[in-house]
């Protein structure tokens, strides 16, 4: 992952590749920018470390990852560390101790740094007003925004905007354009192909090297577009939203969907050395494990598959959004729309057949879990919490868990994964015992590579 170098004699920290050449004896290293800031260092004005990806390591303890995901979801925007600790079942003191040990900063320090860095990117990339940027970045007031930016960057937001480079400003033909930092080596084409093979009809679309999807922001529709950046180290995100308040959470969800939130370098190194899986991983080493826009969306997709029923559900129960390009027609249904009654009434026009009772039960249970707001089904949820949900068999739990950030998830029933195993010499009849103890602790990363490999060769066999 990214390692930041801090210079004790200047009080400045830099990202890798900065032109500054301090003496080694005067430097300290930190894995997160927030950790360097917590130690009293400020960002370098030359290399601007806030513009690079700074994900937490893939081997960070599960509880810390869960708490971090809750911070990304905005738990600390208005809440306290005590409330966060309660959500993950720890005392505030123990949670703080775990964060300091593994991440180098407290939950509050990480949340503050994250909001400040996002705001700094908006000051560089966009022409949004300072007030709009404050609320887009999750700050509760303009006064708080000014205070935190001065603490982190030693300058006011207005001064920081005055310092931006001429080439920083992005001009978008409609919408708001932002740079989305990625880790070195991130393979956008591999991730895009993975998402294209699993796109929800009417909700997601891939055209060329651009991925598009519809979203809902407090009930109002929006559209997101992601394409390669003009230089290495970032993607270009173009957002068409009804308003900018809370934009930071939308961008964070994009990062989770695209797998930019975790650095898999250690996993790639370990799996590349495997005599069986190694050639598959080395073919696309920059593939990240894609996440999901929402737990409900990926759960429903895994229950119904990629066929006509998923399309019928979106058309019948989703919110229509007319006039969009590239086959985008609807926003995915809200949890409240996926009741047993509504699902049982769905039919396929060509057959007039209804959903099976088992599928109705599973989808309704997933929707109820999300609508309940108890956190039982969310990104970063534990395997035990997912296992406690009713009507899900082990195959479904593994498939959903993979896209919800469970690092040991391995969806052996996935057709593309099974096809890939066959290609590397593992017969389907013996796949379960052969894979049972393999590739830990990187099973989800291994599964993603196998699924992508299987899809690639399935496409080649059809052409």
Residue with tokens 């208005």: 78
- Residues with active-site annotation: 14, 414
Quote the CA–CA distance of 148 and 225 in Å, as a whole number. 30
Within 13 A of 312's CA, how many CA atoms are on the CB side? Answer: 19
Quote the CA–CA distance of 235 and 338 in Å, as a whole number. 34
């Amino acid at each position: 992952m990214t390692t930041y170098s801090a210079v004790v004699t200047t009080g400045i920290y830099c990202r890798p590749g900065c032109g500054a050449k301090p003496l080694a004896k005067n430097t300290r290293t930190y894995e997160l920018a927030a950790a360097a800031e917590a130690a009293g260092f400020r960002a370098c004005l030359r290399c601007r470390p806030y513009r690079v990806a700074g994900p937490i390591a893939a081997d960070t303890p599960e509880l810390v990852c869960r708490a971090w995901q809750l911070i990304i979801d905005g738990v600390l925007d208005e809440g306290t560390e005590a409330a966060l600790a309660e959500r993950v079942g720890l005392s505030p003191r123990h949670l703080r101790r775990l964060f300091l040990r593994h991440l180098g900063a407290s939950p509050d320090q990480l949340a503050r740094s994250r909001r400040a860095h996002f705001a700094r990117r908006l000051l560089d990339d966009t022409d949004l007003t300072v007030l709009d940027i404050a609320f887009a970045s999750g700050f509760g007031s303009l006064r708080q925004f000014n205070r935190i930016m001065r603490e982190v960057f030693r300058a006011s937001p207005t001064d920081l905007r005055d310092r931006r480079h001429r080439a920083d400003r992005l001009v978008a033909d409609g919408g708001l354009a932002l740079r989305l930092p990625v880790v070195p080596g991130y393979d956008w084409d591999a991730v895009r192909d993975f998402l294209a093979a699993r796109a929800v009809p009417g909700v997601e679309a891939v055209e060329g090297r651009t991925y598009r999807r519809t979203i809902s922001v407090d009930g109002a529709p929006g559209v997101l577009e992601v394409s390669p950046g003009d230089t290495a180290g970032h993607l270009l995100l173009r957002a068409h939203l009804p308003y900018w308040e809370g934009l930071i959470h939308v961008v964070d969800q994009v990062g989770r969907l695209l797998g930019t939130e975790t650095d898999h370098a250690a996993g790639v190194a370990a799996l590349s050395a495997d005599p069986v899986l190694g050639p598959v991983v080395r073919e696309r080493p920059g593939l990240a494990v894609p996440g999901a826009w929402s737990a409900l969306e990926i759960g429903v997709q895994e229950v119904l598959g990629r066929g006509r029923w998923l399309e019928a559900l979106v058309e019948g129960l989703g919110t229509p959004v007319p006039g969009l390009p590239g086959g985008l027609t609807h926003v995915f249904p809200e949890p409240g729309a996926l009741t047993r009654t509504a699902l049982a009434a769905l039919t396929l026009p060509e057959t007039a057949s209804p959903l099976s009772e088992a599928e109705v039960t599973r989808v309704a249970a997933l929707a109820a879990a999300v609508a309940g707001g108890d956190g039982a089904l969310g990104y970063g949820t534990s395997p035990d919490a997912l296992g406690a949900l009713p009507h899900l068999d082990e195959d479904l739990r593994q498939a959903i868990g993979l896209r919800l950030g469970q690092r040991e998830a391995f969806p052996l029933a996935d057709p593309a994964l099974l096809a890939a195993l066959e290609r590397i010499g593992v017969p389907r009849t013996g796949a379960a015992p052969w894979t049972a103890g393999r590739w830990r602790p990187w099973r989800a990363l291994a599964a993603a590579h196998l699924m992508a490999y299987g899809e690639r060769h399935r496409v080649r066999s059809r052409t």
